[in-house]
Amino acid sequence: MRLIQNFINGEYLDAAGGRRFDKRSPLDNKVIASISEAGAPEVDAAVRAARAALKDEWGALTTDQRVELLYGVANEITRRFEDFVEAEMADTGQPSHVMRHVFIPRGAANFKVFADVIKNVASESFQMATPDGRGALNYAVRMPKGVIGVVCPWNAPFMLMTWKVGPAMACGNTVVVKPSEESPQTAALLGEVMNTVGIPKGVYNVVHGFGPDSAGEFVTRHPGVDAITFTGETRTGTAIMKAAAEGMRDVSFELGGKNAGIVFADCDFDAAIEGIYRSAFLNTGQVCLGTERVYVERPIFERFVQALKAKAEAVRYGRPENPDANFGPLISQEHREKVLSYYRKAVEEGATVVTGGGVPDMPADLADGAWVQPTIWTGLADDASPVREEIFGPCCHIRPFDSEDEVVNLANDNIYGLSTTIWTNNLARGHRVAARVEVGITWVNSWFLRDLRTPFGGSKQSGIGREGGVHSLEFYTETRNICVKL
Buried b (16+ CB within 10 A) or exposed e, 240-251: bbebbeeeebbb
Helices (H) then strands (E): counts for the chain: 17, 23
Rg, the chain, Cα only: 23
Whole-number Å distance between alpha carbons of 323 and 114: 33
CB 459 within 8 Å of CB 439: yes
Q: For residue 369, count other CB atoms closer than 10 A to its CB.
A: 25
Whole-number Å distance between alpha carbons of 438 and 416: 9
Q: Is 127 exposed, middle or buried (0-12, 13-18, 19+ CB in 10 A)?
A: exposed
Q: What are phi and psi of 410, to 5 degrees?
A: -65, -45
C-alpha closest to that of 165 among 116, 115, 122, 200: 115
**Which run of H or E residues covers position 252?**
strand 250-254
Whole-number Å distance between alpha carbons of 226 and 221: 10
Q: How many CA atoms lie less than 13 Å away from 482 in the CB half-sphere? A: 8
396 is catalytic: no
Whole-number Å distance between alpha carbons of 269 and 402: 17
Cβ contacts of 376 within 8 Å, gap of 6 or more: 305, 308, 309, 312, 353, 354, 355, 356, 395, 396, 397, 398
Whole-number Å distance between alpha carbons of 412 and 88: 35
Q: For residue 362, count other CB atoms closer than 10 A to its CB.
A: 16
State how beta strands 174-178 and 147-151 pair: parallel
What is the residue type of 96? S
DSSP per residue over 261-274, as a string? EEE-TTS-HHHHHH
CB 155 within 8 Å of CB 179: no
Please, which residues bridge with residue 178 across strands?
151
Catalytic-role residue among 267, 288, 395, 396: 288
C-alpha closest to that of 42 among 180, 209, 194, 199: 209
254 is catalytic: yes
CB 279 within 8 Å of CB 374: no
State how beta strands 477-485 and 136-144 pair: antiparallel
Catalytic-role residue among 254, 292, 390, 467: 254
Structure-derived torsion over alpha carbons of residues 27, 28, 34, 39, reported in degrees to the nearest 10:
70
Active site residues: 254, 288
